[in-house]
Amino acid sequence: MGPLKGIKVIEFSGIGPGPFCGMLLADLGADVIRISRKDAEGMENKFDIHNRSKRTIVADLKNKKSVDEILKLISQVDVIFEGFRPGVMEKLGLGPDVCLEINPKLVYGRMTGWGQDGPMSKMAGHDINYISLSGALNAIGRKDSNPIPPLNLIGDYGGGGMHLAFGIVSGLIHSIRTGEGQVVDSAMVDGSLSLMSFFYSLKEMGHWDDKRESNLLDGYAHFYDTYECKDNKYIAIGSIEPQFYSELLDKLGIDDERFLDQYNKKLWPELKQVIASKIMQKTRLEWQDIFSDTDACVTPVLDMSEAQENIHNLKRNAFTNIDGFNQPSASPRFSKTKPEIKYNAKKVGIDLDDICNEFGLSKEALSN
């Protein structure tokens, strides 16, 4: 079992970053109990990766008897977290003041887009909105096009669920050391700002231009971009360091004095054209063979189906098959306490009997 074995967590059901946080905790061994609305009871989707390895119950959070039973459950766990707008949990009688009074050691996680306070705290939003305020969205895309949403990886997952999981585990360490619980206010706009720290450093040092595709890491450099191959597939080149860059030029068969001045930004556009022409002469597989076992930092750009068949991913067991469903394995890996995916997402509410018996709860009060 993983390093969080024995930690009991309540997750109030939501979408995106909250369930992702719960998945990370469950993957590492925590006993995560997901509380869903009554009208979700019986729903089942084994392909919902975010809800793997979690137990599941349903409750009517607008019913005082149900809330009282949930408070009994909260008094016996280490962590709860929720993703409602600020003030909702307080209205339900499940706010942090109430919960920490009955369980002073509790870590109370709160996942929102804008945070618990501030002029936008109660406004609706999605990943694209949160990262638009952090500077991240403006930085991504080609110079002659609109900013491109990087899926919802930065706000929801990197700056959201993963930051919340980190905050919860940090809060747990404090609680174990001191017996003192606390609230973790995890806002996706804050998290995406944190992820942008390096680029704020570069900007302050004069090494970053706010214009898209004008910098080292945003696709402007000829040695840090994707290129189309003969078969309309792509490779990724990231030969930043001089020794890796030298190997890139050698494998591409480029002997051109202009390339010796690697960091002369004025030359980058024309050098990129030379590399693009070279790459178009062979298929992605041919380039993959040429650059295998080199330090040129050149890799194939794979889609999700191809990623599952990649030899490195296979050798690393980067995917786990549970009941015929191939999915990303638990991460990170530990030398002593091995993470484990116990099962796919369960039918909603199926663990109600077991959890009521284990924690001394009234099934009738939760079910009505």
CA dist., res. 208 & res. 96, Å (int) = 42
CA dist., res. 11 & res. 198, Å (int) = 32
Q: Which long-range contacts (CB under 8 A, 24 or more apart) does 254-260 make?
A: 254/278
Judge whether 303 counts as a catalytic residue: no
Phi then psi for residue 50, to 5 deg, are: -60, -25
Could you say which of 48, 60, 68, 126 is catalytic? Answer: 126
CA dist., res. 83 & res. 111, Å (int) = 5
- Under a CB-based contact definition with an 8 Å cutoff, are residues 57 and 346 in contact? no
Judge whether 126 counts as a catalytic residue: yes
- Under a CB-based contact definition with an 8 Å cutoff, are residues 344 and 323 in contact? yes
Could you say which of 31, 78, 127, 156 is catalytic? Answer: 156
- Under a CB-based contact definition with an 8 Å cutoff, are residues 53 and 323 in contact? no
- Under a CB-based contact definition with an 8 Å cutoff, are residues 118 and 46 in contact? no
Q: Which residue bears the tokens 């214009």?
A: 211
Cα 226 to Cα 135, 154, 270, 311, distances in angstroms? 23, 20, 15, 21
Phi then psi for residue 329, to 5 deg, are: -70, 165
**Active site positions, annotated:** 126, 156
